[in-house]
């Protein structure tokens, strides 16, 4: 079936605006998207009238995401089994260990979006990722490399070196140190569903203390991930094929 060009253009406008919390003008939007000015204006007016976007600055007429999109997003959050299953377990894990946790979904072969985040009040670090944050690379982050290693749908197009793949598959997770002093340890693991496929990646960020503590925490996190997958209907080693 042929893609509807108008729908694709509207989605591209919404995606672009969502990445700029301070807002974008008509000129910035149509030039960035290489779209005719009149076409962009018509789409923006339609979205504005539907409360999908609004003017953050009425004088400069800078557009930001509106209440309609937040309402739609909240329905997705409420109805998503992946989020509702993951969130309470990740909260319990994060509060126990004083860390921050994240739920992500893959969009096509080039984007990762954060659909749930939780920062424990006991955490000693601040993570900049909010719901709606988008990563545009699978190879530059621990979360992206986790998808590349475990998600069979993107493996043909996203290549990791064989040594890294072997290491990731053996340990079951991807680890990355971050921060100015490498003081934050980030762990990402795949989550599977009833179709026995990787339906997302969850991760946590914690203060890095020692390799021994990291290994213990990662082992516990793998147990949490396994429980999430089981609750989503994943059969794992019990499959008949």
Model confidence pLDDT, tens digit, residues 51-64: 889 898 888 899 99
Percent of the chain whose predicted confidence (pLDDT) is above 70: 91
Residue 136 shares a structural domain with residue 229: yes
Beginning with the edge strand found earlier in the chain, give each strand of the sheet holding 134-135 in spatial order: 134-135, 111-119, 100-107, 198-207, 184-192, 174-178
Report the C-alpha gap between 73 and 160 in whole angstroms.
33
Per the structure, the complete domain to which residue 132 belongs is given by 80-238
The reply to whether 161 and 206 lie within a common domain is yes
141 & 168 share domain: yes
List, for residues 73-114, the tens digit of each pLDDT value.
766 665 578 999 999 999 999 999 999 999 999 887 778 889
Q: Do 142 and 232 have their domain in common?
A: yes
Quote the pLDDT of residue 90: 97
pLDDT (mean) for 24-32: 95
Same-domain pairing of 169 and 86: yes
Same domain, 92 and 193: yes
Q: What is the pLDDT of residue 238?
A: 46
Q: Are residues 88 and 207 in the same domain?
A: yes
Q: What whole-number distance in Å separates Cα of residue 238 and Cα of residue 241?
A: 9
Q: Please give the model's pTM, rounded to 2 decimal places.
A: 0.70
Clarify whether residues 133 and 228 are in a common domain: yes
Q: How many domains does the chain have?
A: 2
Q: Give the H/E segment covering residue 103.
A: strand 100-107
Residue with tokens 């990762």: 112
pLDDT of residue 44: 93
Render pLDDT for 134-191 as a digit per residue (tens, 0 to 9): 888 778 889 999 998 898 877 566 677 788 888 888 999 999 998 778 889 999 999 9
Residue 189: inside a domain: yes
Domain CATH code at residue 231: 3.30.450.40
State the pLDDT at residue 88.
95
Domain end position, chosen among 70, 92, 110: 70
């Amino acid at each position: 079936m042929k893609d509807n060009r108008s729908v694709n253009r509207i989605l591209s406008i919404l995606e672009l605006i969502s990445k700029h919390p301070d807002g974008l003008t008509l000129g910035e939007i149509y030039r960035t998207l290489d779209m005719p000015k009149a076409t962009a204006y018509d789409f923006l007016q339609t979205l504005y009238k539907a409360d999908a976007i609004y003017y953050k600055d009425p004088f400069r007429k800078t557009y930001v995401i509106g209440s309609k999109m937040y309402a739609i997003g909240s329905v997705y959050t409420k109805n998503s089994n992946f989020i509702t299953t993951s969130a309470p377990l990740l909260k319990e894990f994060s509060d126990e260990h004083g860390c921050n946790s994240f739920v992500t979904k893959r969009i096509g072969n080039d984007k990762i979006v954060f659909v749930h985040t939780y920062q424990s009040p006991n955490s000693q670090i601040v993570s900049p990722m909010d719901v709606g944050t988008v990563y545009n690379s699978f190879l530059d982050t621990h979360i992206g490399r986790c998808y590349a290693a475990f998600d069979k749908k993107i493996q043909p197009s996203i290549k990791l070196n064989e040594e890294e793949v072997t290491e990731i598959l053996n340990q079951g997770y991807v680890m990355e140190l971050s921060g100015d002093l490498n003081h934050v340890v980030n762990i990402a693991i795949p989550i599977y569903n009833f179709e026995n496929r990787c339906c997302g990646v969850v991760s946590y960020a914690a203060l890095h203390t020692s390799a021994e503590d990291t290994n213990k925490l990662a082992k516990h996190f793998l147990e949490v991930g396994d429980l999430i997958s089981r609750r989503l209907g994943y059969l794992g080693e019990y499959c008949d094929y």
